[in-house]
A and B are shown apart, each in its own frame.
Chain A
């Protein structure tokens, strides 16, 4: 941990005249917003977990999420499609880090390039999710409708689809907001807004948000598709 500054002069940090956390105000507030958002997602996922623990049966995710685009009828590929979605989000997170890094070096070209990659990744993820939702809806799954049976063959409650659509929907809405934010960042970069300001701090804040979206997907992916 980089505690050199803190251990060297802990009292000076709080004696006024500079930011004791050594970050810009907006970035600090982005951290606190993300923390509160983490509690929102946490509450959703814990509600899901509690309901699952309180139920006698639950559908097997490998039987529910086994479809793949353009796959012929009867071909089942559990986990394959969702792992592609996961890698899309990880890679778009990497390009976002590279964009933030390029911003620190005031390298406009690299910021633009990596932001475009990130936006493409976000749109690709959303497209995958739209396809999956559409497919599940065609199978009869929606809020208040659960065509799947429990793993033991007994009747399943609507909790399963309700939680699935609410939580992946809430996450997908975050991805959509992230893509919109990144597009705004791209336009501002192209208009030389950050060059005029002399720093690319806005890209860092957008980056924090984008990584948070990836972080939430790590939890959603594990809780819904893997276990």
Chain B
């Protein structure tokens, strides 16, 4: 066997090891997300819920990083290539901030200047199942 084949073989084990390591990280992050999701169901404090949701979003970005960097192999490409992919995607930071701010502001303005509409959206409706059940009992 030539020298190059030997080094290839040496890299081989390391690459496969890295794949399984990243698989473990991705699974662990998903399980943490799910635990947070289940935990969140029983919490009524909106501040706490927002904190958990923020944590889930951070974990989501971590997962995205591991998939792109290791599974899609971007981390091992040349820096020039990485930059042509990552720099345009940085637009998302502004894209998300601006649109969510806009949505929130639209809601606040609408609620302030159209109180009738706000009242309409606050009317409680009976669930279909409950309606059916109440019909049954009436009969």
Interface positions of A (Cβ within 8 A of B): 1-3, 5-6, 13, 20-23, 28, 31, 35, 38, 42, 46-47, 49-57, 62, 78-79, 83, 86-87, 90, 93-94, 96-98, 101, 105, 140, 147, 149, 152-155, 207-208, 211-212, 214-215, 218-219, 222, 225-227
Contact = CB atoms under 8 A, between A and B. Distances in A.
14 contacts: A2-B78, A21-B77, A31-B81, A42-B92, A49-B103, A51-B103, A93-B71, A94-B19, A96-B71, A98-B19, A155-B121, A207-B72, A211-B71, A226-B53
Contacts of A97: 19, 71
B138 interface: no
Contacts of B47: none
Given A6-B80, A98-B19, A149-B125, 18 more contacts: A20-B78, A20-B80, A21-B78, A23-B81, A31-B81, A46-B99, A54-B110, A56-B107, A79-B34, A93-B67, A94-B19, A98-B16, A153-B124, A155-B121, A155-B125, A215-B67, A218-B64, A222-B60
Contact of A21 (B12, B81, B110): B81
A115 to B, nearest CB: 15
Contacts of B132: none
Interface in B52-98: 53, 56-57, 60, 63-64, 67-68, 71-72, 75-82, 84-85, 88-89, 92, 95-96
Contacts of B64: 215, 218-219
Contacts of B81: 21-23, 28, 31
A90 B30 contact: yes
Interface residues of B, number: 57
Contact of B75 (A1, A6, A225): A1
Nearest to A60: B41
B123 A155 contact: yes
Interface of B: 8, 12, 15-16, 19, 23, 26-27, 30, 33-34, 36-38, 41, 53, 56-57, 60, 63-64, 67-68, 71-72, 75-82, 84-85, 88-89, 92, 95-96, 99-100, 102-104, 106-107, 110-111, 118, 121-125, 127-128
A180 B4 CA distance: 36
Contact of B78 (A22, A101, A215): A22
Most B-side CB within 10 Å, residue of A28, A86, A149, A226:
A226
Main SS class of interface, A: helix
Contacts of B104: 53-54
Most A-side CB within 10 Å, residue of B80, B88, B118:
B80
A47 B78 CA distance: 34
A139 to B, nearest CB: 9
A50 B99 contact: yes
Contacts of A21: 77-78, 80-81, 84
A83 B34 contact: yes
Nearest to B96: A46
Nearest to A21: B81
Contact of A78 (B33, B41, B72): B41
B71 A226 contact: no
A222 B57 contact: yes
B45 to A, nearest CB: 14
